[in-house]
Amino acid sequence: MTNTSWRTLSQNPVAPEVHRHRWLQTKELCRPIRGRVGDFIQGCVAGRTLLDIGCAEHDSSHWDRPEWQHAKLKKWAKTLTGIDIIPEAAVALCERGYDVRCVDATSSCDLGLRFERVMIGDVIEHVSDPVALIRFSLRHLVSDGVILIHTPNPFYCRNFLRVVREGIFIENAEHISWMTTGNMMEISERAGATMKSYHPITRHRERCSPLYWALRIWSGREPELLARSHYYMLGK
């Protein structure tokens, strides 16, 4: 089921059978993160060769913070290579002892290296060509490797509350798209990747709320409204 393209059912992307197919796919692939997100990431990358795309996170203000992800990844991974599109950031991070290359992750560039894991943290919603980003990642992946993509969930209930309060929702001025689970499936397919699973991130207090359980019982699945973001896991 999960590896079947909707195009085998119909050429109409809004056909009822296509909608049902996508709904069943997402339900089958959903693996909610119940514990700490850091533990989930560590379990995915520990002892693995890792490529971290967009590691600089815009500017150096992040680099000395204890929550900066690239520093954590260096502790967990077997080897770590980072890439970023900002030349000054790549140079500065190399001076700090990190292996960071200045590369456009939507280009046809090949680093000449292959990795067991590729991390794309809060990058895909920034780039003009997400399909090219996935293809770049696949190019640098070993045959049984995994791509981990983190991106905000557009349907998170707090986004709607901000619309009610402010009349419009503006999150990040550099974002050019939102990635729903259906969007990620289509982008993955066009890039030649397969979605292995996706992992909604719901805050503990929201998982304990009556609303969470009411929505879960009513829909029979993890409620999208209470997931602030998702991790998607893709493979070849």
Same domain, 23 and 44: no
Same domain, 58 and 170: yes
- Tens of pLDDT along 167-218? 998 888 899 999 999 999 999 999 999 999 999 999 888 888 999 999 999 9
Same domain, 163 and 143: yes
pLDDT confidence of residue 65: 87
CATH number of the domain at 132, please. 3.40.50.150
Same domain, 140 and 192: yes
Strands 229-235 and 194-201: antiparallel
Same domain, 214 and 184: yes
Residues 6+ apart with CB under 8 A from 58: 86
Same domain, 4 and 85: no
Tell me the backbone φ, ψ of residue 75, rounded to 5 degrees: -70, -35
Tokens of 15: 């056909």
Q: Alpha-carbon distance 87 to 83, whole Å? A: 10
Same domain, 70 and 3: no
Same domain, 75 and 191: yes
Same domain, 96 and 211: yes
pLDDT confidence of residue 185: 95
Q: Alpha-carbon distance 72 to 55, whole Å? A: 11
Least confident of 60-64, 79-83, 96-100, 210-214: 60-64
Treating both helix axes as pointing N-terminal to C-terminal, what angle do 16-29 and 181-191 enclose, rounded to 10 degrees?
90
Same domain, 106 and 5: no
- Tens of pLDDT along 117-139? 999 999 999 999 999 999 999 99
Same domain, 4 and 121: no
Same domain, 71 and 8: no
pTM: 0.92
Q: Structurally, how many domains does the chain consist of?
A: 2
Kindly write down the DSSP assignment for every residue of the chain, as one continuous string.
Answer: -TT--GGGT-S-TT-HHHHHHHHHHHHHHB--B-S-HHHHHHHHHTTSEEEEETTT-SSGGGTTSTT-HHHHHHHHSSEEEEEES-HHHHHHHHHTT--EEE--TTSS---S--EEEEEEES-TTT-S-HHHHHHHHHHTEEEEEEEEEEEE-TT-HHHHHHHHHHSS----TT------HHHHHHHHHHHT-EEEEEEEE--HHHHTSHHHHHHHHHHTS--GGG--EEEEEEE-
- Domain, as residue range, for 7: 1-30
